[in-house]
Amino acid sequence: MLARGHIATGLVLAVLWALPALAQTSPSAPPASEKKWGPSIDFEGKLGLGKIINNTITVSEVGGGTAHGVDVVGTSTNVLVSGNTITATGSGGASIVMAIQVNDASHPTVTITNNTLSASGGTTESAYVDLSRANIQSGSTGNVAKAGTCVVSAAGVGSTVGFTDGTTCGP
């Protein structure tokens, strides 16, 4: 089962639908009744293969909140984040800014490959990748980090996220 997220610029908004067929993310705006605060795309507890492929995802936070581009959290399994340009920015006291976050005690599994990642403007953290108890799958290579840092909040399992400059992040 796949999930389809909605991409929003400006305020960070998100919604997910479970889909019976293969799908990729859509840049269309969700109906107002289905909007919620959170990351631009969120795979919280989704089982099966979720794909975020070949998108431009831009999120920003103005003020004391956080900006998350893609979150893979909870019991999510077999999520593929590939070929995207993900830019997260903060200003005016935004505390945490993350392009990709993988986080949960259940070790959510994800492959992160061939993305261009940027995070800037966080007062506490600006992470192009933030990992906490993540399960990074082999093949997570070919990424480009334009701005930000790798943050490993808690050790995970599996492989590392690899970048074209030879650096790695994780597990």
Mean pLDDT by 10 residues, the chain (171 residues): 32 25 33 37 51 91 88 84 95 91 85 97 93 93 96 91 94 77
Q: Report the pLDDT value the prediction gives residue 49, as an integer from 0 to 100.
A: 57
> Contact at 8 Å (CB) between 44 and 69?
no
* Structural domains counted in the chain: 1
Domain, as residue range, for 73 = 2-169
pLDDT of residue 23: 31
**Residues with Cβ within 8 Å of residue 101, at least 6 apart in sequence:** 39, 68, 70, 71, 72, 73, 127, 129, 130, 131, 132
pTM above 0.95, yes or no: no
Strands 79-82 and 50-53, how do they pair? Answer: parallel
